[in-house]
Amino acid sequence: MPKMTFIERDGNRKVVDAPLGMSVMEIARKGGVDIEGACEGSLACSTCHIIVEEGWLAKLKPASEDEEDMLDLAFGITKASRLGCQIVMTPELDGLVVRLPKEIRNLLEA
Ligand code: FES
């Protein structure tokens, strides 16, 4: 079973099982990581914003234009920002490390 690591807002590193074919957003939720994913992966929010750790960005498929547009609405975006629902676990991504942004736009609290 592939694994991935989430660096939580308090700096804690959480290693979770990352089943192939699941999105990073789904993996986070399954592993008890605090990520909202309000639109359930339909590219209509940005509450699954994550920041990919160095070295991993090049291994990901580039973001689509729709993903880029949605990311523009997220707080605190960086060059390594992606939407967690758009990254699907593959064998090559075993060990992936992503960070939760400090600032989030939580639709349920907006
Ligand atoms: S869960 Fe809404 S864009 Fe990813």
pLDDT tens digits along 42-69:
999 999 999 999 999 999 999 999 999 9
Query: Residue 75's pLDDT band (boundaries 50, 70, 90)?
Result: confident
To 10 degrees, the CA torsion angle through 58, 91, 43, 73?
-30
Q: Which ligand 1 atom minimizes the distance to the CA of 43?
A: 3
Query: What distance in angstroms lies between residue 53's CA and the mean position of ligand 1's atoms?
Result: 19
When pLDDT is averaged across residues 70-98 and rounded to a whole number, the result is 95
| pLDDT given for residue 110 in this prediction | 47
Helix/strand/coil for 65: helix
Residue 84 CA to ligand 1 centre (angstroms)? 7
In angstroms, the CA 25 to CA 101 distance is 13
Cβ of 41 below 6 Å from ligand 1: yes
CA distance 74 to 97: 20
